[in-house]
Amino acid sequence: MTQRTVFQDLVRKAVGANRGKHPHFHSAHEGLALILEEVEELKREVFRRKRKGDPLRFLNELVDIAAYCEIFAEDSSTWNKGHEG
């Protein structure tokens, strides 16, 4: 299995797990808030380990970011276009 395949498999599983926590993003604001929260978690990991990063922790955060981005993209087609930007 290539690194890309492993990453894609992890993202697919994370989408399923995260759908359990957040079945649908009701707005772009909600989706963006969750994505930014995950980005902040990655940022903390990066800055916490300036000299030696933990690739597994980075990977976990990147998987969550990618999963929430996928959920955002899927759910965006259901939002009321007149109220979301």
pLDDT digits (tens, 9 = 90+) for 40-80: 999 988 888 666 667 888 899 999 999 999 999 999 988 86
Q: Give dist(CA 30, CA 8) in Å, integer.
A: 24
Tell me if 71 sits within 8 A of 19, measured CB to CB. yes
Q: In terms of Cα–Cα distance, which of 26, 31, 33 is closest to 79?
A: 26
pLDDT single digits (tens) 4-17: 889 999 999 999 99
pLDDT of residue 47: 83
Whole-model pTM? 0.82
The residue among 28, 12, 42 whose CA lies nearest residue 72 is 28
Question: Structure tokens of 68?
Answer: 């929430």
